[in-house]
A and B are shown apart, each in its own frame.
Chain A
Amino acid sequence: MTTVTPWTARARRTSRPRPLRRRFTPGRIAAWALLAVITLVTLLPFYWILRTALSSNSGLAASPGDPLPVDPTAGGFERALGLQSTEEAVAQGGAGGGLRFWRYLLNSVVVSTLVTVCQIFFSAMAAYAFARLRWRGRDKVFALFLGGLMVPAVFTLLPNFVLIKELGLVDTLLGIALPTMFMTPFAVFFLRQFFMNIPREVEEAALLDGAGKVRIFFRVLLPMAATPVLTLAVLTYITSWNDYFWPLMVSYGDSSRVLTVALAVFRAQTPQTGTDWSGLMAATLIAALPMLALFGFFARRIVSSIGFTGIK
C-alpha cells in the first residue's frame, strides 16, 4: 500500500469533494481495505512474472507455491533473448527454436514510432484545417470523418489485408503501419476539439505580426497543443505496440515480426509437455518493459488527462 494520505495540503486547496472525515469509521476502513485488495490483484501478477522468470523450470515443478524465485537462474532471460545454445535450452526445459528478440524489438519500435509520429502529425494538420481554416465543404468532410468513428476496427481488417496484399506489402513493416499511419477519426476529432478551444486572439496577434497560417500552425498552435498531443502520442504508442491481430495477419517472417506476435510464437513453440514457463515469463517481462518504462516517465500527465483521450 502506498503512503499517500488524502489530507495533504494540495488536496485541501482543490474544489474537489474532500475526503470524508479524518476519523477511521468502519466504512472508511472497509473502503481502504477494498482498495488495498484491488491494488494487490492489480500488481501481484507483475511480481509473479518476475519470480517465475528468475526461477528454473525444474525448480518451478518442484515447488510451485514458493513465493520467492525457486532455484534462481538467469536461464529464462537467456532463452528469451536467444542467448542459449539449442542443447542448453532444451536441457533447461525450453524449445530449440531461437527467438531473435532484438530484431522483433526493433520491428516493434519502428512500427509504433512510425504510426505514432505520422498519425499524430497528419491528424493534427487535418484537425487544424477543420478547426481553424475556412473552406468550402469543411463541415461535410468532417461529418464523414466522424462517421468513421462508428466503424469498428474489426470490420476493416479483412478488406485491409486484401488491399495490403495487392499493394505487395504483406510481410513488411510498412504494411503493418500503413492503415493507421495517416489518421484515426478519433485523433482528428480529439485534436480538433483542442484547436477550437484556443482563443482566436492568439492567432490574430500572430497574424498582425505578419506570420502566415502555416507558420502559425507550426510555431504557435502546435506548441500550445503539446500536452494533449503528448498524451495522445503515448496512448497511441502503447496501443500500436500492443496490437496483435493486424500484425499477425500481415507478418509471416522474422523481417516483419513484432514483439506481440513473436511472443505468441514463442509460446506456441515451447514444449507441450512441460511448458517453458520460466522462459515465457522472462519473455513477457522483456516485451512489456518498454511500455512500463514509457508509462513510468509520463505517468502523472497521462493519468490526469486520460478522461479526454479514451483510446480503446
Chain B
Amino acid sequence: MTIASSSPPSPLPSVGAAGIATTSRTDRPRADGSRGDGRLAAVFVAPALLGFVVFLLWPTLRGVYLSFTRFNLLTPAQWVGIDNYVRMVHDPIFWNSLRVTVEYVVINIGVQTVSALAIAVLLQRLTQSAVLRGIVLTPYLMSNVVAGIVWLWILDTQLGIGNEILVALGVGRVPFLADETWAIPTIALINVWRHVGYTALLLFAGLQAIPGDMYEAAKVDGASEWRMFWRITMPLLRPVLAVVLIMTVIGSFQVFDTVAVTTRGGPADATNVLQYYIYGAAFARFQFGYASAMSVALLVVLGAITFVQYRLTRADRTDLG
C-alpha cells in the first residue's frame, strides 16, 4: 500500500504526495439535504463496506480485546486485564525479537532506500527504457518464499555459488544463514533483492514529475550531475521519498516469510523476528491472548514510527509548490 506521485503523460489519476485525495472535482452532497442517489449508493457500497467492517474494523477492535484475555481457541476467551502486557514487558525473548526486528528494518531500509534511489536516478538520467525498468522489477514477481529458498541455495555454505565465489576470491566460506551475526543482515539483503526494483519504480515515477527543463537550465549554468542531484533531485523528490519510506518501513516490520523458509528463527533466536515470535505464540503454543498483546505492541510501534517519520520528513508539504 504505497502511494507515489504523478507523471504528466499518463492517463492515470494523479495522487497527492501525501496520499490524500483532493476533493476539488467531486460533487458534494446537495446542501438542500435531498437524498440524491442514496439507494443506489447503498447497493454499490454495501459489499465493500461489509468486507471493511467484518475483516478490518471488527478484527482491529477484537485484536485489542483479545490482548486482555487468555485465549487458546478451544475455550472462550477469559478476561485477564493487563496480564499479557506485564508478561510481555518481562519476556526477554520479546525484547530480543523487537531488537532483531529493528536490526532487520534498519539494514533493510537503509540499503534498499539508497539502492532504489540510485537505480531510479540512473534510469532517469541515462535511459527511459521500459525494458530495463521491467528487468529491475522481475524479483518482485517472486514470492518471499521463492526468494528465500533461492538465496538459501545460492548462499549455502558448502554448495552455494556465493561461497564458491568467495572462496575463489580468497575470502573463505561464510555461513550466511547459520551464523548469529550474519543471519539477520543476510535476510535483510534477500528482501532488498526482492523489493528494491519496486521501490525504485515508485521513486522513478516521482522523478518523472520533476520538470526536465530544470536540469537543462542547471546544465547551462554548468552544474555537475552530482550537484544537480543534491540541488534539484533530492529536494523535489523528498515528499515522494518520505511516503515511500513510511510505507516500506511499515512493510518491513512485518517480515515473516523469508525467516520462516530460511532460518526459522534460529540460530539461537538470532532471527526470531517479532512476527515470527507472534506466530509461534499463537500457533505453536496456542497463546492467542499473548500473541494479540504483542500484535498491539507492534501496532503501537508502527504508529509511533509513522507519526515521527511523517513529522520529521514533513511529508505533508511538497517543495514543488
Taking beta carbons and an 8 Å cutoff, which residues of B are in contact with A? 1-15, 19-21, 23, 25-30, 33-38, 40-42, 44-45, 47-52, 54-60, 62-63, 66, 73, 115, 118-119, 122-146, 149-151, 153-154, 156, 158-161, 164-165, 168, 193, 197-198, 201-202, 204-206, 208, 210-213, 215-216, 225, 244, 247-248, 250-251, 253-254, 256-257, 260-261, 275, 278-279, 282-283, 288, 291-292, 295-296, 298-299, 302-303, 306
Contacts and interface: CB of A to CB of B under 8 A. Distances in A.
Contacts of B26: 131, 196
A307 B244 CA distance: 10
Given A31-B125, A186-B1, A288-B142, A45 B134 contact: no
Chain A: interface size category? 35 or more
A203 to B, nearest CB: 10
Nearest to B63: A159
Which 4 residue pairs are nearest across A and B when measured between Cβ atoms?
A: A307-B205, A182-B51, A134-B36, A310-B2
Nearest to A194: B13
Given A122-B47, A155-B63, A312-B247, 18 more contacts: A5-B127, A31-B126, A35-B119, A38-B115, A42-B138, A43-B138, A125-B45, A146-B20, A158-B292, A182-B50, A185-B52, A197-B14, A200-B27, A241-B143, A242-B145, A263-B261, A302-B137, A310-B247
A303 B131 CA distance: 9
B302 A129 contact: no
A253 interface: no
A20 to B, nearest CB: 7
Nearest to A17: B212
B205 A145 contact: no
21 contacts: A2-B131, A14-B128, A15-B211, A35-B119, A129-B37, A145-B52, A158-B291, A159-B62, A161-B282, A163-B59, A179-B55, A180-B55, A189-B19, A193-B21, A213-B40, A245-B257, A248-B260, A277-B159, A291-B142, A307-B5, A312-B251
Nearest to B33: A136
A16 B118 CA distance: 18
Interface stretch (A57-65, A81-89, A96-104): A57-65
Interface string A9-36: 0010011111110000001100110110
Contacts of B41: 129, 133-135, 138
A210 interface: no
A286 B238 CA distance: 40
A304 interface: yes
B66 A162 contact: yes
A300 B56 CA distance: 34
A41 B138 CA distance: 12
B111 to A, nearest CB: 12
Nearest to A308: B12
A306 B201 contact: yes
Contact of B12 (A150, A154, A227): A227
Best-surrounded residue of A52, A162, A267, A277 (most CB of chain B within 10 A): A162
Contact of B15 (A16, A153, A241, A308): A308
B59 A303 contact: no
Given A20-B225, A188-B48, A303 B126 contact: no
A231 B59 CA distance: 29
Contacts of A287: 143, 145-146
Interface of A: 2, 4-6, 11, 14-20, 27-28, 31-32, 34-35, 38-39, 41-43, 45-46, 48-49, 52, 60-61, 64-65, 122-123, 125-126, 128-136, 138-139, 141, 144-146, 148-163, 165, 178-186, 188-190, 192-194, 196-197, 200, 213-214, 217, 227-228, 231, 238, 241-245, 248-249, 260, 263-264, 267, 275, 277, 280-281, 284, 287-288, 291-292, 294-295, 299-300, 302-308, 310-312
B1 A149 contact: yes
Contact of A299 (B5, B6, B11, B134): B134
B250 A152 contact: yes
A38 B116 CA distance: 11
A92 B1 CA distance: 44
A299 B141 CA distance: 11
A263 B52 contact: no
Contacts of A43: 135, 138
A135 B36 CA distance: 6
Contact of B212 (A18, A154, A228, A263): A18
A303 B257 contact: no
Best-surrounded residue of A14, A158, A243 (most CB of chain B within 10 A): A158
A27 B212 CA distance: 20
Contact of A159 (B6, B13, B60): B60
A144 B251 CA distance: 22
A123 B244 CA distance: 23
